Amino acid sequence: MLGTGRMKVLLIEDEAKAAGYLRRGLGECGFGVDVAGDGETGLDWALAESPDLIILDVLLPRRDGWSVLAELRRAGRKTPVLMLTARDAVADRVKGLGLGADDYLVKPFAFAELLARVRNLLRRSETPGPTAAGELVVGDLRLDRIRHKATRAGQLLDLTPKEFALLALLAERAGEVLTRTVIAEAIWDINFECNTNVIDVHVRRLRAKLDDPFPRRLLHTVRGCGYVLGERE
Ligand code: CA
């Protein structure tokens, strides 16, 4: 998983329909979602990619959710884990808590409920400090990637999800010139060869909200190259 400015969720779920539904829903809410279809792959990715949060189904092929969770904690990983269980058995909850699960959701559940739990877990895992986990600061710009909120000089910016994702990408790599190809791959998940016009259009819209109302520009065009976010004279 490359840095895309988004909070990264690893979904370990073997039921393709449910996985697709959750991936789409979380994607629309601005999360970057990877789906692993079995416990073994899920554990490998969880250890290798360090996601911000893991949504873990209990019943999985190759390695069940309990075992994935136990291995993850044994490896010292504190990644928040939301378990999905088909049964609302007290024994399951006790077992999961003993293994270090952070929260539970019993299937079937409403997407809104899952989203609320995800946001809650991400908030809880924030480290205290001047900038909490999930927050990006560039000059007087603050981006809260958990709540998908952007402010400049304390003033809330009204951004679409795509504009927010674009700004978060630029903020995560502030001071670095990002080419249109890099932006296209990160935000649109596709390989652009020629049609980068869509990026210019989004940058224009973002700039109108981010820079036009303020005396100092943050988003700069590097001619023939791409875009960079930062404070410049
Ligand atoms: Ca399952």
54 C-alpha to ligand 1 centroid (Å)? 15
Cα(166) to centroid(ligand 1), Å: 34
Q: What is the pLDDT of residue 129?
A: 42
Query: What pLDDT band is residue 121 in, cutting at 50, 70 and 90?
Result: confident
CA of 40 to the centre of ligand 1 (A): 13
Residue that the structure tokens 């007290």 belong to: 90
Structure letter (DSSP) for residue 126: P
Helix axes of 180-188 and 161-172: crossing angle, nearest 10 degrees: 130
Residue 212: both structure tokens together = 């036009």
- Angstrom distance (rounded) from CA 88 to CA 140: 47
CA of 52 to the centre of ligand 1 (A): 22
What does the CA dihedral 69, 75, 79, 85 come to, rounded to 10 degrees?
0
List, in order, residues 6 or more apart from 102 with CB less than 8 Å away: 80, 81, 82, 121, 124
How many Å apart are CA 39 and CA 142, to the nearest integer?
37
The lowest-confidence range among 125-134, 139-148, 150-159, 212-221 is: 125-134
69 Cα–ligand 1 center, Å: 15
- The dihedral through the CA atoms of 219, 222, 223, 226 has a sign that is negative
| 99 C-alpha to ligand 1 centroid (Å) | 19
Structural domains of the chain in order of their starting residue, each with its CATH number? 8-126 (3.40.50.2300), 135-229 (1.10.10.10)
> Would you give the end-to-end CA distance of the chain in angstroms?
34
Q: Which residues have CB atoms below 5 A from the ion given as ligand 1? A: 14, 57, 59
CA of 38 to the centre of ligand 1 (A): 9
Express each pLDDT in 170-192 by its tens digit.
Answer: 998 888 888 888 888 788 766 55
